Structure 1
Amino acid sequence: MANPRRPRRRGQGELEAQVLSALREADGPATAGWVQERLGAGLAYTTVITILTRLLAKAAVTRERSGRSFVWTPVSDQAGLTAHKMRKLLDGESDRAAVLVSFVTSLDPDDERLLRDLLGQAKGEGDVGAGAEGEGDD
């Protein structure tokens, strides 16, 4: 029988997402103590520091010294953090083309269309005078 006092186990990355969300709600750089108070639920200060340090290693947050402590600022939102994870996984593969082909061919038609549109927009940003043509043609 499960211990009724033990909180449920969080999913992978859930606590990182909660910490990032709390930091995004802050009016500016926030301390680990502020994040701990915001998240509550008996979360240990050392756990918050561990998560912030992991996010720092993933370049998802920055920190700067403030007195004897650090203040933390989010660099990216959840989408940016997920994109970073995807790039890190891709960088670990020897056959990048095979991974990308497998990824793209597994997308549903709507996601594939969105990806094609985004790639077209990114390509257009590098062209001289791009952006004026086709705007508002949805």
Structure 2
Amino acid sequence: MKGLGALESQVMGVLWGEVDALSVHDVVDRLSDDRRVPAYTTVLTVLTHLWEKDWVRREKVGRSYRYRPSRTRAEATTDLLREILDASPDAPAVLLHLARTASAHEVEALREGLSGEGLRP
């Protein structure tokens, strides 16, 4: 994900995969499936940076924080696509090219969304 380092992306993937807010220990535990498990202090630093960048919200529980994404993965991806379109000198051409490369399922979802029928929050 643009704007995020490799470990930040992994941490966001963990947070997006959960319904409840997670502690630093929870995040470390879920990252432990990987070959290299980052240290608790490293994950704490990453989560603090993500909070400073407004990627996560945090709530104080006892003496520690619990973290949750500030927006869904789809919303974050949309924000990145919006940045790309805003930076393009010809946003309509970019959109048309994207539409031409979309799968049938994606085109149908787009049609439903534009007609107001699909992709409810």
TM range (shorter): 0.5 to 0.7
Structure 1: which 5+ residue stretches go unaligned?
Answer: 1-11, 126-138
- Name the structure 2 match of 1:106: 101
Structure 2: which 5+ residue stretches go unaligned?
Answer: none
- Name the structure 1 match of 2:73: 78
Moved over 6 A (4+): none
Equivalents in 1 of 2:56, 2:12: separation in Å? 8
Equivalents in 2 of 1:86, 1:37: separation in Å? 32
1:22 matches 2:6: no
Cα RMSD of the aligned pairs, angstroms, is: 3.5
Q: Which amino acid aligns with 1:25?
A: E
1:37 matches 2:29: yes
More helix by share: 2
Identity level (%): 33
Report how many aligned residue pairs link the two structures.
Answer: 111
Q: Which amino acid aligns with 1:31?
A: S
Cα contact 1:29–1:71 (8 A) shared by 2: yes
**TM-score, normalised on structure 1?**
0.55
Taking a change above 3 Å as real, the CA distance of residues 45 and 112 of structure 1, as seen in their structure-2 partners, is same
Cα contact 1:60–1:75 (8 A) shared by 2: yes
